[in-house]
Amino acid sequence: MNPGADESLQMIKLNRRIAALKPSATMAAETRATELKAAGVDVISLAAGEPDFDTPERIKDAARRALAEGRTKYTPVAGMRELKDAIRLKLKRDNGLDYDVTEIMASAGGKQAEANIIAALFDEGDEVIIPTPAWVSFVAMVNLSGASATLVDCPEDAGFSLDPDRLRRAITRRTRGIILNSPSNPTGAVYSASQLGELAKILLDAGLWVLSDDVYEHIVYDGAAPHIFQIEPRLKAKGFALNSLSKAYAMTGWRIGFAAGPKEVIAAAARLQGQNSGNPNSITQIAAIEALTGPQGETRAMMEEFRRRRQLVVERVRKIPGFSLPNVPGGAFYVFPNISGLIGMNLDGREISDGNSFADLLLDAAHVAIVGGNDFGAPHHVRLSYATSIENLNSAFDRIESVIARLKR
Ligand code: GLU
């Protein structure tokens, strides 16, 4: 690069919050893997949480029809009426929750829905509780709103679940909300109905906004994941059900998700969406209607495949020296092993100091992409996605084992 240009770029004064914004660790890990693949390197990626299955044919057919019919114009900013009705149907069918159309906003992915709700609700001086380990973007979204994130540690030996006493202690007079995510990305922890009941009592008493990220609700291995608003219906008046079609219907690239909650906040978030991006893609909206209202068998079939992979991954991870995985994940398609046993070891002088440095080393030395736990709030862990074939998983673990065998203390 031209050094002069570089210097002038460094002098640009960015918005304070954007300047402090880090790249998304999950997206960055996947981008590095894609770049290496493009350069001809044989990389196996266990980085992004992205199902390897193609979008079901019935959904692609609906999109093809929509395109042929020329449904290529703007739609209402928060989504077309038929999509909102499909989302209502889904929330009733899958979660037993009733919503009005005015209480629903469709967005370009679950991420945009969550970011817009968080931006609409929280402000400088507010605190938002995030049980940790947590998905990397929650903290970033909260910080962008001006609020600060209160990370509440959920220890591995407690199954990575939020302890009610720790929750009580974390609530101050500034606390305005909490973000829950069950099944959890990255830990795979799933809250039971009784755990949710205990937490719900505290949240109701404290009058907090409850943001429930339900993205992995269908990828759950031991019976359905209960919804906190079903366990405590009074929470729904101050709650948001946040979701995406990315995982359940293998639609990551289509970018479609939604938020359901009190209409005043939905309207505010939709105003924001109207100013900074507009409606989610019109063809995608029509595909989403088919996804949500058509036969739901594909999601169950994908789930069964994830179950087979989970078994393999748990077995193989547990055999790797230096990795430990005390909890079998109950949902989602990630394992989140503890790599404390590798800290301080090195490969040809390159030291492993945390999850991120191990992930970097693995990418360089074994061409396996994983995500370090640092930005999930767990620097002694790494996240491996098993949303890839059994064959890829076996090769990835063979490579990981051969790198581990070369480590020295
Ligand atoms: N949520 C997925 C993940 O954690 C996709 C990437 C992202 O949006 O962070 O890998």
Which tens digits make up the pLDDT trace of 130-160? 999 999 999 999 999 999 999 999 999 999 9
Name the residue of 30, 45, 52, 137 whose CB sits within 8 Å of the most ligand 1 atoms, as the mutation to test its pocket. Answer: 137
pLDDT at 90 exceeding the cut of 90: yes
Atom of ligand 1 nearest to the CA of 136: 9
Mean per-residue pLDDT, 169-178? 98
pLDDT at 1 exceeding the cut of 50: no
Atom of ligand 1 nearest to the CA of 47: 10
Q: How many angstroms does the Cα of residue 137 sit away from the middle of ligand 1? A: 8
The domain 20-49+298-404 belongs to what CATH superfamily? Aspartate Aminotransferase, domain 1 (3.90.1150.10)
Furthest-apart CA pair in the chain: how many Å?
64
Summarize pLDDT for 359-381 with one digit per residue, the tens: 999 999 999 999 999 999 999 99
Q: How many angstroms does the Cα of residue 266 sit away from the middle of ligand 1? A: 24
Query: Rounded distance, CA 329 to CA 225, Å?
Result: 13
Atom of ligand 1 nearest to the CA of 27: 6
pLDDT at 285 exceeding the cut of 70: yes
Per-residue tokens: 288: 């989403």
pLDDT at 82 exceeding the cut of 90: yes
The answer to whether 280 and 361 are in contact (CB under 8 A) is no
- CA torsion sign for 309, 310, 313, 314 is negative
- For ligand 1, atom 1, name the residue with the nearest CA: 49
pLDDT class for 312, splitting at 50, 70, 90? very high
Q: What is the pTM (predicted TM-score) of this model?
A: 0.94
Looking at the chain, which residues constitute the CATH 3.90.1150.10 domain(s)?
Answer: 20-49+298-404
Atom of ligand 1 nearest to the CA of 49: 10
pLDDT score at 10: 67
C-alpha distances (whole Å) from 283 to each of 59, 62, 115, 254, 256 are: 11, 9, 23, 9, 11
Mean per-residue pLDDT, 111-125? 98
pLDDT class for 223, splitting at 50, 70, 90? confident
Q: How many angstroms does the Cα of residue 34 sit away from the middle of ligand 1? A: 15
Q: How many angstroms does the Cα of residue 409 sit away from the middle of ligand 1? A: 33
What is the dotted CATH code of the domain comprising 57-293?
A: 3.40.640.10
Query: Rounded distance, CA 50 to CA 306, Å?
Result: 12
Residues with CB under 6 A from ligand 1: 24, 26-27, 48-49, 111, 135, 137, 185
- For ligand 1, atom 9, name the residue with the nearest CA: 26
Name the residue of 22, 24, 26 whose CB sits within 8 Å of the most ligand 1 atoms, as the mutation to test its pocket. Answer: 26
pLDDT at 4 exceeding the cut of 70: no
